[in-house]
Chains A and B, each alone.
Chain A
Amino acid sequence: EPEVTQTPSHQVTQMGQEVILRCVPISNHLYFYWYRQILGQKVEFLVSFYNNEISEKSEIFDDQFSVERPDGSNFTLKIRSTKLEDSAMYFCASSDQFFGPGTRLTVL
């Protein structure tokens, strides 16, 4: 079965630092997504990406967030200046069926 991979599995950073979360989606898929899940809360949509541009984003996805697919393989989520409340599991999804294992981001 095809799978989505994400790196790193854990990321610890200081408040105000930039982080880049990486995902390798399934190669022949067209739609890619980022979701996040704060501990004990529900999975929340952040952004969807199609044809090398954002197709939809949520209110959470403010100017501090950006996504790109620089080389046709990796799909990245960048948080420019992390806040304490950005601490969460971040899941990449390839189409709406295949989720990655997640990156646990801890902002100190």
Chain B
Amino acid sequence: LAKTTQPISMDSYEGQEVNITCSHNNIATNDYITWYQQFPSQGPRFIIQGYKTKVTNEVASLFIPADRKSSTLSLPRVSLSDTAVYYCLVGERMNQGGKLIFGQGTELSVKP
């Protein structure tokens, strides 16, 4: 499984756009990139998954360059409630039965 590296922590202010970058130099051809969010004392929550280029949903955008060795999760106009740990994972496409390997994640702190 490809290892991921992401910043340990980030600070932001309400209303700003936050970009969290993850590097995954050893990503395999069949690997997808998936991001999860976790609030304290809660289970991880799926945010977005992508394979290449750009994916957008109602919560976030995921930018993946052509070489796929990194990816950037973009959260538009964050609010205090976006304070959480964000995990970048690389592995199987959703719903294929694979396990998830979590790293330490990025602790995002949104300030007023």
Contact = CB atoms under 8 A, between A and B. Distances in A.
A42 B102 contact: yes
B97 A99 contact: no
B54 to A, nearest CB: 20
Nearest to B49: A97
A102 B41 contact: yes
A98 B46 contact: yes
Nearest to A102: B43
Chain A's interface size range is 20 to 34
A45 interface: yes
A105 to B, nearest CB: 13
Interface in B52-81: none
A97 B87 CA distance: 13
Contacts of A31: 95, 97
A43 B102 contact: yes
A108 to B, nearest CB: 19
A38 to B, nearest CB: 12
A35 B105 contact: no
Given A96-B100, A98-B46, A43 B38 contact: yes
Contacts of A98: 46
Interface stretch (A14-22, A68-76, A78-86, A87-95): A87-95
14 contacts: A30-B97, A31-B97, A33-B99, A43-B100, A44-B102, A50-B97, A56-B99, A93-B43, A95-B94, A95-B95, A96-B98, A96-B100, A99-B44, A102-B43
